[in-house]
Structure 1
Amino acid sequence: MSLMTLAGDAAQSRSKQWLGLSVLMLPVLLVTVDNTVLGFALPKIAEALHPSASQQLWMIDAYSLVLAGLLVSMGSLGDRIGHRKLLLAGSLGFAIVSVLTAYSETALQLIAGRACMGVFGAMLMPSTLALIRSVFEDREERRLAVAIWATTLTVGSALGPLVGGVLLEFFSWGSIFLLAVPVLVPLLVLGPLLLPESERDSSGPLDPISILQSMAALGAIVYGIKHSASTGIDWMALSAFAAGTVAGWMFVRRQLRLPVPLMDLSLFRNGTFSGSVLINLMSLAFLVGFVFFTTQFLQIVLQMSPLSASLALIPGQVMAIVVGMAVVPVAQRVQVHVLVPILMAFAGAAFLLVASMGSSLTVLIVAFALLNIGVGAIATVSNDVILSAAPPAKAGAASAISETAYEVGVVLGTTVLGGLVTAYYRGALQLPGFLSDAQMMLASETLSGAHHVAADLAGDQGRELMAQAARAFEGGIGLVSWVTFGLALMGILIARRTLRRCRSELARDGF
């Protein structure tokens, strides 16, 4: 009888563990969906709030920029006060700010709301991974749980366009922010019941100076890129680049001198670790950049409804989910330095297809599927390599760097690739002579601005303006596709060179 009781208790404990994991995946899914869902809502938001080109980019990047800048410090805060407490506080704050952001009346209000969401989002991501270690004591079960966590990152990014398309078909653009409430309420209710509190460790004190330096470096460089895309390279852009470079240098110098650094940069001495982080960052930048221009092209140029546009991308979303899980047994049989270049080649092929064949609906559907085959699998493989390449005692620091690279990739995807599309559009747009000065300024800012102006013009004039705008935007897509194809080739070479050492060699070298 006692054996049966013990068996029953063990089964109940296992059920509680996996229920706890399912609850933990809710904030992971929400944070990653938020990285891509807003890009899909930009046409609707632009129609309602009339943002400038720079403001459109900031709407997307304010969230990821703040999130990336605070991830490591929030991980350290969770070590001090307990990750469950931090997770619940972050969930409550994220839900409240999301509701307020949903009712923004100006572009600046929305950007500010997105930045605040980034603060609370930074409390969620490190806590989920840390609590997985607290929930699962068995190593094999914990490994499976981490694989599920990594796959959820990819699934969330892939589902963003579909979720956005469905919501925008039936509701206003604010619904994409209100989504946080039904997702996070179960966590707030069930989290205290299913999740144990993590062990507290106050050995790593928070360092406000390092936090400010990292935020200044990221913010200044991103601002410089956005300013260059909207107004060209001038003294303001050069000053921003210089300030960001100096802040970044000061951050690195400080981390190398601190006894307990905010970010353990010694991990980057391992080429395998550095290469995996860089490949992870690049792959996310490719995905987010593609979603940025594709969602606008489908809805504004091809005049597809949000739901129809999201359904067109379903094949790619399915591939991301399937390949993200299916690559696990493949990675056990194929050397990483062979597998990752092959996966990066799929991403490169996607952009080569768009660059050479144009941006028709069929081409974009096939390209998105190819891109997700590469990115979906890279996310799973690279996270595993990152954790394997780090010493066990530094697993937490490695996870924080991996998550930071993920968010920096999101920022760079919108800033660099999206900024290139915007810059080309502004330079190549041939505006008709019948427009007023105000109409010319609005149409030359963004594709959505041109669409707004065209809606107020007579039939033939509106069609002429949109034809010119579509031609300029397609030219920008072609340019970015060639650039990204070149970056993918660089990624293949980086992966081939840095991931060559097998895991036994890593272990032998102390990594």
Structure 2
Amino acid sequence: MTHPTPSRTGVRAWLGLPAVLGPVLLVSMDGSILFLALPSIGRALDPGAGQTLWILDGYGFAVGSLLIAFGNIGDRYGRLRLLLAGAAVFGLGSAAAAFAPTPELLIAARVLMGVAGATLLPSALAVLGELFPDPRQRARAIGIFAATFAAGFAIGPVLGGLLLERFWWGSVFLVNLPVVALFLCVAPALLKDVRATRPGRVDLVSVVTSAAGLLLTVYGLKRAAADGLSASAVTAGLAGIAALVWFGLRQRQLPHPLIDFTLFRDRVFTFAVITGLLPLAAWSATAYLAGIYLQSVLGIPVRQAALLALPGAVALTATCVAAPAVVDRIGKRAALLVCHFSIAAGLLLPVAVAGGVGWYVLSTVVAGVGYGISFAVVADTAVGAVPPERAGAAGAIAETSNEIGNALGIALLGSLAALFFRLQGPGLAPTLDETLQLPGLADTSAAAAKSAFVTGLHAAALVAALLHLALGALALRRLPRSLGGPAVMREA
């Protein structure tokens, strides 16, 4: 029996790595690429306030609510098959989004892209494990995977802004198609199929219940923020909460649950998952609101707004790449402290000062350091806090927390900003862009609308900053000085 030489195996693995990273980059990038495109989409399709938020976070909710389910499906039926099918559907959804004639169809296309994106992330990570059986090489590959995922979130707004300078808003979706086409051509030759030995079958009731609970809860919050308390908003919110509670109770009864909630008995694991969720929530909400602020309040052209986002993107990506080496020196606990306190400082900068472009750029760089750390250490911290046989479940939950955080940030903090705009704005339209587009708008009304939007932006940033300060203080008091394996946690 002959074995492939290490050199030949290595060449195939390192050729397969960029093939896997293409879809990963697209999935993360499409979570943020619309942040600077919303004003252009608003002028073209005239979506309402609620529709605007669903255009943004329908994608993230679809990805986050289905990640674990598709991880199970890939284990049973083959990761490569799921990767290929997901990439093809992602391309179709991108084409449909680019040419959507109405807000409703754009939302539907974004949800379809999110469903496809949920097939790509867990399968890509599993295929990487097959490509790199050597632990050291696998660690390097997963580090590159994490940096690519972080870079996608960071460069999404920049790329979107540069495309919008020359093309119409649909170009931010069409940019996906060449990457998808290339992946479909090279993946069958470079990648191997992977099937794990995870027992049991996917509980479809749990999948539907978790997704419905999230959507109904967020829908109720959005309606209440945009239109005030109403019977429909309260009913939807309560129904969503009930569905999520029932989902949690059901997981305790299943032999192979979709989410193993017993893992949350470990405080380090719980803290790691929250650290995966909250920074993405803060980043997505403030990046989305800042895109509107730069273009609609300060009147900065979209290309310049994109370039202003570049320093923060560079800080985030560079920190993500450098973080593993730094963590080896200072430890995970210190890294998590830096993560939360730097994000809080970055979020508070534009609130504490009069504002302006310079302070905005500085705040994105300071916060970007914290965001980069969160990308780099969350999964490793979560997996290291549980026994080895439960590492797969821990990693899946950590990945899911990132995507859910991305969607919840826009949904919850974006709704908070919308609430302030409704209460303090001139009351002529539900959003700033819709107000500014009204014919014959008085200068005083335009100024009042801009002031109300800035107040809402500052409120969202302040709430996110306070949550990060609270988490940093909690880490200082409750996390052990050495975050090792499960034994360290049990002693803590």
The superposition leaves residues 163-186 of structure 1 with CA deviations (integer Å, 9 ceiling, x where unpaired) of 101111111100111111011112
Q: Which amino acid aligns with 1:488?
A: H
Q: Which amino acid aligns with 2:204?
A: P
Q: 1:405 matched to which residue of 2? A: 401
The superposition leaves residues 94-133 of structure 1 with CA deviations (integer Å, 9 ceiling, x where unpaired) of 1011101110111111011111111111110110111111
Q: 1:395 matched to which residue of 2? A: 391
Rounded Cα–Cα distance in structure 1 between residues aligned with 2:297 and 2:368: 23
Q: 2:321 matched to which residue of 1? A: 325
Q: Which amino acid aligns with 2:113?
A: M
Q: 1:480 matched to which residue of 2? A: 460
Report the more deviating stretch, 377-386 or 79-88. 377-386
Rounded Cα–Cα distance in structure 2 between residues aligned with 1:501 and 1:213: 39
The superposition leaves residues 339-359 of structure 1 with CA deviations (integer Å, 9 ceiling, x where unpaired) of 211221111011211111133
Q: Which amino acid aligns with 2:230?
A: D
1:84 to 80, 85, 95: 80
| Superposed displacement of residue 137, structure 1 | 0.5
Q: Does 1:373 align with 2:373?
A: no
Q: Which amino acid aligns with 1:471?
A: S
| Superposed displacement of residue 505, structure 1 | 5.4
Residue 357 and residue 402 in structure 1: after superposition, are their counterparts in 2 closer, same or farther (change >3 A)?
A: same
Q: Is the 8 A contact 2:386 2:485 kept in 1?
A: no
Q: Is the 8 A contact 2:65 2:400 kept in 1?
A: yes
Aligned residues: 490
Flag structure 1 segments of 5+ consecutive residues without an equivalent. Answer: 432-439
Q: Is the 8 A contact 1:298 1:309 kept in 2?
A: yes
The superposition leaves residues 247-302 of structure 1 with CA deviations (integer Å, 9 ceiling, x where unpaired) of 11111111111111112222212111111000110011111011111000111111
Q: 2:284 matched to which residue of 1? A: 288
Q: 1:249 matched to which residue of 2? A: 245
Q: Does 1:233 align with 2:218?
A: no
| Superposed displacement of residue 20, structure 1 | 0.9
Residue 450 and residue 85 in structure 1: after superposition, are their counterparts in 2 closer, same or farther (change >3 A)?
A: same
The superposition leaves residues 193-229 of structure 1 with CA deviations (integer Å, 9 ceiling, x where unpaired) of 1111102536220111111111121111111111112
| Superposed displacement of residue 420, structure 1 | 1.0
Q: Is the 8 A contact 1:69 1:211 kept in 2?
A: yes
Q: 2:255 matched to which residue of 1? A: 259
Q: Is the 8 A contact 1:450 1:466 kept in 2?
A: yes
Q: Is the 8 A contact 1:84 1:198 kept in 2?
A: yes
Q: Is the 8 A contact 2:385 2:485 kept in 1?
A: no
Q: 2:436 matched to which residue of 1? A: 451
Residue 189 and residue 252 in structure 1: after superposition, are their counterparts in 2 closer, same or farther (change >3 A)?
A: same
Matching of residues 430-509 of structure 1 within 5 Å? 430=426, 440=428, 444-453=429-438, 456-457=439-440, 461=441, 463-500=443-480, 502-504=482-484, 506-507=486-487
| Superposed displacement of residue 506, structure 1 | 2.1
Q: Is the 8 A contact 1:421 1:477 kept in 2?
A: yes
Q: Which amino acid aligns with 1:322?
A: A
Q: Is the 8 A contact 2:480 2:489 kept in 1?
A: no
Rounded Cα–Cα distance in structure 2 between residues aligned with 1:105 and 1:359: 37
Q: Is the 8 A contact 1:280 1:406 kept in 2?
A: yes
Q: Does 1:209 align with 2:205?
A: yes
Q: Does 1:107 align with 2:103?
A: yes
Q: Is the 8 A contact 1:50 1:107 kept in 2?
A: yes
Flag structure 2 segments of 5+ consecutive residues without an equivalent. Answer: none
Residue 389 and residue 240 in structure 1: after superposition, are their counterparts in 2 closer, same or farther (change >3 A)?
A: same
What SS class does the counterpart of residue 32 from structure 2 fall into? Answer: helix
Rounded Cα–Cα distance in structure 1 between residues aligned with 2:45 and 2:354: 31
| Superposed displacement of residue 378, structure 1 | 1.6
Q: Which amino acid aligns with 1:207?
A: D
2:152 to 146, 151, 156: 156
Rounded Cα–Cα distance in structure 2 between residues aligned with 1:348 and 1:469: 27
Q: Which amino acid aligns with 2:433?
A: S
Q: Is the 8 A contact 1:359 1:474 kept in 2?
A: no
Q: Is the 8 A contact 1:165 1:310 kept in 2?
A: yes
What SS class does the counterpart of residue 38 from structure 1 fall into? Answer: coil
Q: 2:11 matched to which residue of 1? A: 15
The superposition leaves residues 297-350 of structure 1 with CA deviations (integer Å, 9 ceiling, x where unpaired) of 111111112111010111111101111111211101213222211221111011
Q: Is the 8 A contact 1:337 1:497 kept in 2?
A: no
Residue 499 and residue 85 in structure 1: after superposition, are their counterparts in 2 closer, same or farther (change >3 A)?
A: farther
Q: 1:144 matched to which residue of 2? A: 140
Q: Is the 8 A contact 1:276 1:499 kept in 2?
A: no
Q: Which amino acid aligns with 2:471?
A: G
Q: 1:434 matched to which residue of 2? A: none
Superposed CA RMSD: 1.8
Rounded Cα–Cα distance in structure 2 between residues aligned with 1:88 and 1:387: 27
TM-score (norm 1): 0.92
Q: Is the 8 A contact 2:379 2:399 kept in 1?
A: no
Rounded Cα–Cα distance in structure 2 between residues aligned with 1:184 and 1:294: 30
Q: Which amino acid aligns with 1:452?
A: Q
| Superposed displacement of residue 478, structure 1 | 1.9
TM-score (norm 2): 0.96
Report the more deviating stretch, 247-256 or 77-86. 247-256
| Superposed displacement of residue 40, structure 1 | 1.5
| Superposed displacement of residue 390, structure 1 | 2.7
Residue 204 and residue 350 in structure 1: after superposition, are their counterparts in 2 closer, same or farther (change >3 A)?
A: same
Q: Is the 8 A contact 2:385 2:484 kept in 1?
A: no
Q: Which amino acid aligns with 1:446?
A: T
Report the more deviating stretch, 237-246 or 180-189. 237-246
Residue 161 and residue 508 in structure 1: after superposition, are their counterparts in 2 closer, same or farther (change >3 A)?
A: closer
